[in-house]
Amino acid sequence: MDLAHLREHPTQLPIFLTHQRIRETPVGGGDSCAAARLTLDDGASLFAKTWPAGTAPEGFFAAEAAGLRWLGESRAVAVPEVLVATRDLLALEWIEAGTPSEEAALRLGRELALLHRSGAPAFGADWTGFIGVLPQDNTLDAGPWPQWFAQRRLLPYLRRSVDNGALGPADAALVERVVDRLGEYGGDEPPARIHGDLWPGNLLWAADGRVRLIDPAAQGGHRETDLADLALFGGAPYLDRILAGYQQQWPLADGWQARLPVHQLRLLLVHTAAFGAVYRDAVVRTAQAALSG
pLDDT 10s digits, 70-110: 999 999 999 999 999 998 899 999 999 999 999 999 999 99
Contact in structure between 107 and 210 (CB atoms under 8 Å): yes
What value does the mean pLDDT of the chain take? 94
pLDDT > 80? residue 246? yes
In the chain, list all ranges with CATH 3.90.1200.10.
102-292
Q: Is the dihedral of CA 248, 249, 253, 255 positive or negative?
A: negative
Give the pLDDT confidence score for residue 170 in this predicted structure. Answer: 98
Please determine, for residue 123, whether its predicted confidence score (pLDDT) is greater than 70. Answer: yes
The reported pLDDT for the residue numbered 18 is 75
- The pLDDT of residue 1 is 77
**pLDDT reported for residue 180:** 97
**Structure-derived torsion over alpha carbons of residues 165, 169, 175, 181, reported in degrees to the nearest 10:** 160
How far apart, in whole angstroms, are the C-alpha atoms of residue 40 and residue 282? 44
Q: Could you tell me if 242 and 91 are in contact, meaning their C-beta atoms sit under 8 angstroms apart?
A: no
Top CATH class of 102-292 equals alpha beta
Round to whole Å and give the CA distance between 161 and 171.
10
Distances, alpha carbon 9 to alpha carbons 19, 31, 126, in Å:
16, 27, 26
Average pLDDT over residues 97-125: 98
CA distances from 124 to 194, 237, 277 (A): 10, 29, 28
Q: Where does the chain hold its CATH 3.30.200.20 domain(s)?
A: 3-93
User: Looking at the DSSP assignment, which residues form a beta bridge with residue 219?
Assistant: 194
Q: pLDDT tens for residues 22-56?
A: 888 888 876 678 899 999 888 889 999 988 877 88
* Cα 196 to Cα 84, 213, 220, 263, distances in angstroms: 22, 11, 8, 11
* 57: DSSP letter: P
Reply yes or no on domain 3-93 having CATH 3.30.200.20.
yes
pLDDT of amino acid 41: 87
pLDDT at 30: 63
Residue range 143-160: average pLDDT?
97
Q: What is the mean pLDDT of residues 120-134?
A: 96
Query: CB–CB of 263/130 below 8 Å?
Result: no
State the pTM of this model.
Answer: 0.94
Q: What is the pLDDT of residue 26?
A: 86
